[in-house]
Chain A
Amino acid sequence: MAITDTPRFVRADGPDKVTGSGRYVADLTLTGMLTAKLRYAGIAHARIIKIDVSAAKAIPGVFSVLTADDVPDLRYSPVVPDRHLFAKDTVRFEGEVIAAVAAINAEVAQQAADAVVFEYEELPIVADLEAALAPGAPLVHEDWESYDVTGDTPRDRNVATFSSITKGTKEGVDAALAAADIVVKQRYVADGSHAAPIEPRGVVAQWEGNKVTIWTSTQVPFDARNGVCETLQMPSNRVRIIVPHLGGGFGGKCGFHFEAHIAALAKASKRPVKLVFSREEEFLAPDRRRESMIIDLETGLNADGTIAARRGWVAVENGAYTADSAFFPQLAAMHVAGPYKIPFVHIDSSLVYTNHQPSGSVRAPTAPQGCWACETHTDELAKAVGMDSVAFRKLNAIDTGDEGVVGQVYGEIGLQQCLDTATEMAGYGQDLPDDEAIGVALGWWPSFPGASGAFVRLDADGAGQIVTGAQECGTGAVMTLRQLAADELGMDPEDFEIIYQDTGVAPYDTGATGSQTLLNNGRAVVAASEQIAEQLKDHAANMLEAAAGDIVLANGTAHVAGSPDKSVSIAELAEVAAGGQMLIGKGSPVPPEYPEIPGMNCVGDQGVAAWAAPQFSCHAVRVRLDRDTGVARVLAIACAHDSGTIINEIAAHGQVEGGVLMGIGQALTEGTVYGEDGRQQNPALLEYKLQTFADAPPISTAFIQIATAEAGPRGAKGLAEAPNVPTAAAISNALAKIVGQPIRQLPMTAERVWEATLSIADDSGETA
């Protein structure tokens, strides 16, 4: 099979996007369409006394005003169902929806939303993770014990889920720490942050008879459909989710959000209804925010620099509801343990309710913070034992055949090559001005094999169509599918168009989440294409009077192996097939298996300790610090990634570059600030600072390509989340070298860096 030579890959959706003709949800208009506005609680924790919508309903132009009384009375969410569509009895964060309005235009809708009378009694706010864990702390969910939780999920009061990972035994860890030559113990605290896609979300819903079609900016159409089905109690075949172009997600648009609210409004109003978020709503209302974390690490070292044992304690902020975060504690535990050879490990990790916005799967959830803590700690360990931090990692990081922190033995992996390559690209070890340093960090992230389906067909003119349940959120993963189909069929990628993100026409896929699209749907498209290839070969064998096994598909033709002139075009074959048994392939292959770890010792296992096709990375970043102000600037960054085989080179580079910049933001300027009232203080792009074009450093990337078994097509692993993982950690280590000590708070804002500088500088060091 030839791999198409596409050094310059043109996206199938690219022309739509560069000409402005591509439609996003906000660009859609339907005849008779109403505008929706949501009324939010605007208070972090309160008991509802009264919600009165009569005045709102009386406003001319208002079609419907809905509250909890107007929808089925049930709690939703996977694993820990703890949320209602509309606040019922209690509001638990400021962005909680108490009512939804549909009206003739935006002004009237807003007027009606404002006219909803909301009376409440304030309850004490649970904001601090440690305070939430204290005995006698106010409860975010008073009736937590009555929730209908699935699986083995230890819970207690404000602890929504708990997981631990252990290697050896807890007592073994204690003994190893007691026996260690050096012990380093530190606390690291990370603030929450946001996905902040540039497109604020939108939802349009339209009913015809008993069926509803919902156009929505979701990363996970099937999840969104299932959420609507669950909360409005409908069968899956009467809810159709269509995603037009999606303006980025980064996890913020995972899950099921406001589709059911708008569907319910459209039903009640007997009109199509449209919701488009303002930027402020995009910050406040979704239940997918990057979680704040507190991480305590205690690590014992042997005198030779090897790691003897690690004990850890992690609190992961859940916020008010458990969106998809039940597995976060275990994932966080893995990241603070790190990709190291440590014989004794014990980490306790809790998902803690607060009266803040719910946390959810933002690009590699828990990993940038966990990695930042682990890798900052790693540099502290190297310093404590008097080793260079890269040499220390060389010594302790896992390699092919090594056993990791939960006892998993890794197959062929490229972590050590990543370390060598990134540090070499960055010129690690060179002499630098005293306000500059190069920081290094290692990262890892699992791949998530799962069920996924696609159809491929060739029509009578030989033009190809890929029909897939996969979701394109910008990464190019869906766009790459046509390259896979083309390679299987000896055709050109541009011979294929893609029908995607429509639950009514395509088979299931998990969606743009977990970096899984190419891994899983790529396999599905290859399988579907293989079926067509077989059909084409049979037809060609008949026409060319050869054995099907000797037919080769290449350059748009089928020819007999060794006789390139004995050929027939695929278009001709397609025309023949169209008159009889059509060229339709369906792919839904059995997913690769997750590794089994004999004797794995995890309490509250959420399935994210044994990692399928783990991805590895090393980032080496050169930073300059303005010591007088604490303002840091990233000058250059070198990235080496083992994400298995790279199928679409240009898109892969784009993923690393985008992930790096998001990581720089998390490191330096992006953090949610809460007031004492439990409300966000910076829900705007001026105060929540994404990195600009002017801030972006040159980014160089190398891929350590190892065709990985039990992974995606051609041995590919996931990629979209991994580049986000070690960037903040590498910046932290560069800053620590310049300042003389780490900044153990994330983001490492200018002021926090300056405070750290002050705390070790003598007074004469100050310039003002």
Chain B
Amino acid sequence: MHHMNLDVNGMSYPITADASRNLLSVLRNEVGLTGTKEGCDDCECGACMVLLDGQPVNSCSYLAAQAEGRAVTTIEGLADGDDLHPLQAKMLELGGVQCGFCTPGMIMSAKALLDRNPEPSEEEIRIGLSGNLCRCTGYAKILAAVGEAAVEIR
């Protein structure tokens, strides 16, 4: 068993788990945050997206132990108390949420995109979120939500 301290959403978690465990499973089972979803376990759907030092990472395919010393941000760490992050608010307001299973990962990818590119074009949003599959929305309302959130954040 491997001992690690994971910094998740600004809180430090002392964890003991097998070193072969992926970050997704440790976040969901040991840290206790289930907002990060498992859709494929294979880097193919993006439902498990978290930020590692601000960069998007498929937590299903990343060793938990390797995240030690880096800041992990999950969907639960995005809102400021009861105040939703503009991405969360716009996804709600513009209908970017349907079944919601891809939503956390989608929002985390969008956060990473807007952090590195505050004024993305439509094409840049499409490419920036291309690692997150959504089966419900056809992506149209998510595109609008990310675009409007970008404006609000600026």
Contacts and interface: CB of A to CB of B under 8 A. Distances in A.
Interface of A: 8-11, 13-24, 26-27, 196-200, 245-250, 276, 278-279, 473-476, 650-651, 653-654, 656-662, 684-686, 690, 692-694, 696, 698-699
Given A17-B103, A279-B42, A11 B97 contact: yes
B39 A19 contact: no
20 contacts: A10-B92, A14-B92, A17-B97, A18-B100, A19-B35, A20-B76, A21-B76, A27-B34, A198-B39, A198-B102, A246-B99, A247-B37, A248-B135, A651-B95, A654-B137, A658-B138, A684-B40, A693-B134, A693-B143, A694-B130
Nearest to B29: A29
B136 A248 contact: yes
A616 B44 CA distance: 35
A18 B135 contact: no
Nearest to A662: B135
Contacts of B34: 20, 23, 26-27
A473 B101 CA distance: 11
B132 interface: yes
A472 to B, nearest CB: 9
A662 B135 CA distance: 7
Nearest to A692: B130
Contacts of B101: 24, 197-199, 245, 247-248
Given A22-B100, A198-B102, A657-B141, 20 more contacts: A8-B93, A11-B92, A14-B97, A17-B103, A18-B89, A19-B84, A19-B88, A21-B35, A198-B45, A198-B133, A247-B37, A249-B99, A279-B44, A474-B99, A650-B141, A656-B138, A685-B42, A692-B133, A696-B126, A696-B143
Nearest to B28: A27
A693 B135 contact: no
A682 B53 CA distance: 35
B84 to A, nearest CB: 7
B17 interface: no
Interface of B: 28, 33-42, 44-45, 47, 74-76, 78-79, 84, 88-89, 91-95, 97-104, 107, 125-127, 129-143
A654 B136 contact: yes
A249 B135 CA distance: 9
B11 to A, nearest CB: 15
A17 B137 CA distance: 14
B99 A199 contact: yes
A473 B98 CA distance: 8
A199 B37 contact: yes
Given A17-B100, A24-B37, A658 B92 contact: no
A8 B90 CA distance: 10
Contacts of A249: 99
Contact of B107 (A14, A18, A245): A18
A696 B47 contact: no
A19 B94 contact: no
B103 A685 contact: no
Contacts of A14: 91-92, 97, 100
A24 B132 CA distance: 19
A26 B34 CA distance: 9
- Nearest 8 pairs of A and B residues by beta carbon: A20-B35, A474-B99, A17-B100, A247-B101, A657-B138, A20-B75, A685-B44, A474-B98
A659 B76 CA distance: 30
B134 to A, nearest CB: 7
The A interface, classified by DSSP as helix, strand, loop or mixed, is loop
Given A14-B92, A198-B135, A199-B37, A686 B44 contact: yes
B94 to A, nearest CB: 7
Contacts of A13: 100
Nearest to B98: A474
Contacts of B41: 278-279
B98 A248 contact: yes
Contact of A279 (B33, B39, B76): B39
Nearest to A278: B41
Nearest to B78: A19
A9 B45 contact: no
Contact of B40 (A8, A9, A276, A279): A279
Select the residue from B45, B104, B134, B141 with max chain A CB neighbours within 10 A.
Answer: B134
Given A198-B45, A685-B42, A693-B130, A653 B99 contact: no
Select the residue from B125, B127, B133 with max chain A CB neighbours within 10 A.
Answer: B133
A693 B132 contact: yes
B49 to A, nearest CB: 12
Contact of A653 (B79, B93, B141): B141
Contacts of B93: 8, 10
Nearest to B100: A17
Contacts of A250: 135
Contact of B99 (A26, A473, A685, A698): A473
Nearest to B146: A693
A249 B28 CA distance: 23
B69 to A, nearest CB: 24
Nearest to A663: B138
B95 A9 contact: yes
Select the residue from B42, B100, B132 with max chain A CB neighbours within 10 A.
Answer: B100
A495 B104 CA distance: 27
Contacts of A653: 95, 140-141
A197 B37 CA distance: 13
Contact of B47 (A198, A650, A690): A198
Contacts of A661: 137-139
A8 to B, nearest CB: 5
B88 to A, nearest CB: 4
A696 B129 CA distance: 11
A18 B141 contact: no
Contact of A200 (B39, B99, B139, B140): B39
B10 to A, nearest CB: 15
A661 B100 CA distance: 17
Contacts of A699: 138, 140
A135 B41 CA distance: 45
A109 to B, nearest CB: 15
A509 to B, nearest CB: 18
A687 to B, nearest CB: 9
Contact of A684 (B28, B44, B135): B44
A198 B141 contact: no
Contact of B133 (A8, A22, A474, A685): A685
Nearest to B35: A20
B99 to A, nearest CB: 3
A693 B44 contact: no
Select the residue from B33, B41, B101, B104 with max chain A CB neighbours within 10 A.
Answer: B101
